[in-house]
Structure 1
Amino acid sequence: MTEPIPTRDAYSEWAKVYDSNENRTRDLDALVLRTTELPLDGADVIELGAGTGKNTEYLASRAASVLALDLSPAMLERARARGLGDHVRFTEHDITRPWPCADAVADLVVGNLVLEHVDDLAPVYAEIGRALKPGGLLFICELHPDRQMRGSRAQFERNGKAAFVEAYVHSVSDYVAGAEAAGLVLTGLNEAIEAGAEVDEDTPPRLLALTFSKPL
């Protein structure tokens, strides 16, 4: 396997075709978010890894405000071009660093296909715990660890060959324990397989979706 490309560089290169190339993980992720019951109506939302705004558009259609964070300026350029309104703020930011927001400002934090690119989850979870209001929710959806163990990872085509994005394997326990250390409580778990996929008992789910709450 070729050397992985640093996350910022990879997504900056991928941005031009990210929304148009075939990507079953991206498409299933969007479906999982849209079919998960989340208290979005009138909510103040922080989105992690907004990318081209593929999910921001959905969040913005219901939320009162969205702070959408992403590491890649090229991806954010695409996202801003969607014209989602003044209640959406796209910000270039490394989510492992302190976030550009006050304490207890978010009703909901949403992260999709982003934590696989973070080596140490603790700083991210610490910021999630800080930013959420009491009673607020965290929703994350990631490439399933079992699939990662079998070699799956974010990739795009470069000169006819697969180019792999910098990624780290986190177990289900890593995701849950990290959230619990930040004072959150697991309230939902979904292992998602795309409709119509040919699977057997040895086929791992494509995605892992977890929901946590911050106690009142």
Structure 2
Amino acid sequence: MPISPPDTPDDEIPVRTAYRAWAAIYDDNENRTRDLDAACLASAGLPLKGAKIVEFGAGTGKNTAYLARHAASVVAIDISPEMLAKARARRLGDHVTFLEHDISRDWPLAAGSADIVIGNLVLEHVRDLLPVMAQAARTLRPGGRLYLSELHPCRQLAGSQARFDQADGSTVRVEAYYHGVSDYLAAAEATGFSLLGLEEPIETGARVSAETPPRLLVLNLVKRV
């Protein structure tokens, strides 16, 4: 019998609204999920040198800065203008383009224009995976790579989701949707991807147990030729 996700809390804030408030403190807050995600991307062994990259869920540009040091070009997409303003302030170079866009809608990018598409900690906020995966597939050239790093579904089932504390001590919970491992794999298969690798990282020093499941789900995928 499938495991059901927890009920959606009543105090969730819509994504665009939440990240408007979070942008000012996102880079400075303690965030083990964000930091582990960055470490995983840096050690992923993706063929970044000279690549044309599309990054969705770019946020304040912490991963964009890493990608920009290696790639020929980066298109960094995010739904939040406030987060993108922080990313632009990094002045990463003329080969980096920032695009405010809802990734669940058709991407304003040419078909086959990217060598690698990268998504980090964003699909938790998307109700339906298929439109996003389909746009990633359309944007990639045949044989192109898709790298996804997301909050692990087991963490979601335990009640974890993107959240942050405000100056008044209140906690903001960002609108989130549950996707199981099988949901990611089914969406990938349906949109023309093959699985190259699956990892379930946990931060260094943490003891793996039922109380501390993997923090991330990382998928390496390739667009079938």
Flag whether TM exceeds 0.5 (same fold): yes
2:90 to 79, 82, 97: 82
Aligned-pair identity (%): 60
User: Residues 2 and 163 of structure 1 are in contact (CA less than 8 Å); yes or no, is this contact kept in structure 2?
Assistant: no
Say which of 124, 132, 147 aligns to 2:140. 132
User: Which of 178, 193, 214 is residue 202 of structure 2 equivalent to?
Assistant: 193
Instruction: Please tell me the residue identity of whatever aligns with 1:40.
Output: L
Q: Aligned partners of 1:11, 1:29: CA distance in 2, in Å?
A: 18
Q: Distance in 1 between matches of 2:70 and 2:219?
A: 21
Match for residue 40 of structure 2?
32
Q: Name the structure 2 match of 1:206.
A: 215
Q: How many angstroms does 1:122 deviate by?
A: 1.0
Cα distance in 2, alignment partners of residues 201 and 105 from structure 1: 42
Q: Deviations over 1:57-109 (max 9, x none)?
A: 00110000001000000000000000000000001000011111110011000
Maintained 8 Å contact 1:42/1:64? yes
- Map residues 152-171 of structure 1 onto 2, 5 A cutoff: 152-158=160-166, 159-171=168-180
Cα deviation for residue 196 of structure 1 reads: 1.2
Counterpart of 1:8 (choices 16, 33, 56) is 16
Equivalent residue, structure 1, for 2:6: none
- Residues 12 and 175 of structure 2 are in contact (CA less than 8 Å); yes or no, is this contact kept in structure 1? yes
Unaligned stretches of 5+ residues in structure 2: 1-8
Residues 20 and 202 (structure 1), Cα distance of their counterparts in 2 relative to 1, 3 Å cut: closer
In the superposition, the TM-score normalised over structure 1's length comes to 0.98
Q: Distance in 2 between matches of 1:160 and 1:2?
A: 18
The AA in structure 2 aligned to 1:123 is P
Structure 2 counterpart SS, 1:192: coil
In structure 1, distance between residues paired with 2:144 and 2:201: 24
Distance 2:96 2:108 in 1: 14
Q: CA contact under 8 A between 2:208 and 2:214: conserved in structure 1? A: no
**How many correspondences in the alignment?**
216
**Aligned residues: CA RMSD:** 1.0
Deviation at 1:201, TM superposition (A): 4.9
Task: List gaps (5 residues or longer) in structure 1.
Answer: none
Moved over 6 A (4+): none
Q: d(CA) in 2 for partners of 1:80 and 1:35?
A: 25
Correspondence for 2:156: 148
